[in-house]
Chain A
Amino acid sequence: MTAPRPWTAHRPRGEGARRLAAPFRILVMLEDRLNLRLHELRDALREDFPQIDWPDDPAVPDLPFDTHDAPVGVVSCGRAALPAQITAHRRADIAWSALLPRNRLTPVDRLARRLAAAGTHLEIAVTSRGPALPDRLEAARRATAIAAVFADLPIAAGAVQLWSDRVLSPQQTIDLAASAAAGEVPLLDWTLPLLFYHDATDEEAELSSGTTVGLSALLGYELELRQSPEPAGLVIAAIMDVAQQLVTEGIALRDGGEIAPFGAEAHRTRLLPEGLLGNDTDRWCLVHPDSAFHDQELLGPTLSQAAPKGLLARAMDLFASRPPAHPQRRGAPRGV
């Protein structure tokens, strides 16, 4: 039996730290060629998002931008974030076959058809000043605002947030930016909650799991709930409720701690270190009291379980001697 984990706040490392240093990238798909001068884009940002400061920067010249002939542009974000990079690409190497189902779209949906037919896309990339959450939120807000200015054009087909795999219609992109500019944290649009139903032939077919995609761009880790007996809708609600608390209320999860999401029963919070179960970044796992995910076996006991001595400790040893569970074989989410 492994030693109990101490309760520690999470510190991003490995892939999580890399994601906190990466730019927020959004693709805006266009149906036609586009040209402008960069001051026009800045003026449009000031007009559409006056709550955000879009300063003049002598180091950023007012150059022409053209999706065919001059496909690189820069917009100053002042001290709030590094200058936004805008690049145009004629051919989109985008895996629609994977993205569309994740976003509950089919290839025959109007949005999907427009996106697939768009021959040009802009890539907007905004890098934060640092890895702290306020800096990351500011960079996401600015990337979203710039994307919205382009999404508002009649030639815009839609947008893709690369950090979250989120596919958005032009109107969704505009609404999301308006919400973010108003000071809200539109986490439901900045992350993609994914739900996994378990194999109906499995003995634990009634269980469902869910995970965030993209939360790691803000916090350095993803959040998941494995093999919960709750209905699928509540699983997603629980994940997004905790994610919202993490981002807006600054709560910190502790390995072996507890949290009661969305008024539900208390769930154990367990840290799934990067790579342990094939996950490509650290994940915080919410474990329902009746979950089939045997976190104590896979991740080791937590202090709350290990602290009592005597009878309970012996019971834990007996518990640990059970055959190991194979959550991935049961259809639990793999690392995204």
Chain B
Amino acid sequence: MSFTITIDKRKVLVDEGCTLIDAAADNGVFIPNLCYTRGKPCLGTCRVCSVRVNGKVTAACTVPVQPGMVVDVNEPEVAEMRKLLVEALFSEGNHNCPSCEKSGRCELQAVAYEVEMTASPFPYRFPKREREDAADHIFLERDRCIFCQRCVEHVRDEETGQAIFAIHGRGTKARIEIDVGLANKLTPEQVHAAAELCPVGCILEKGVGFEDPMGSRKFDVKSLRRRMLEGETS
């Protein structure tokens, strides 16, 4: 069944059961996000897709569309909130785009451009985070982890269904961990998929790097916005 909702004063037709973030994309409205993956269960961790739904600020990935829903996406106050959240992520970790292998393929970087971030208003913390390189084919560059939980929830050992990635500690002490034994069982394709799923340059494939020159990188060729609007699933 279809019904209409209003996004930024425009009436659009959406399907029942659809999540707001998808419904918006299907109608040409891009909502930045970092933890959501189309077709996969909502994680609701980054909050970067915050929009106003019937007057209340809500993460668009967590809301099923309802008939008559009124949504503001590009209203200045809520747009500023999205920008602040992205800026908070930059100050919280160590994100040096120019030296990062994921540059040009990084969703955090792409979203930062989308929200027109320049410098973070939050004090940069320069946290000390240890790298993890024990797995044969995966390198964890923890400086860049944004705790989105994509890998924790969506990457599993195929045989046992066990979690390969996990978050240890809580709050500011949270840290991404990897099960080395299970990680070593991943096929090269699965390793590649895990690295692609990571929205930042935290999960990296060993032995691969800087394959595409500037101008030919993933988001150079086709922007994150266009990919989202065309319904790509990472």
Bound pair (A, B): no
Report which B residues bind A (CB closer than 8 A).
none
CB within 8 Å of B: which residues of A?
none
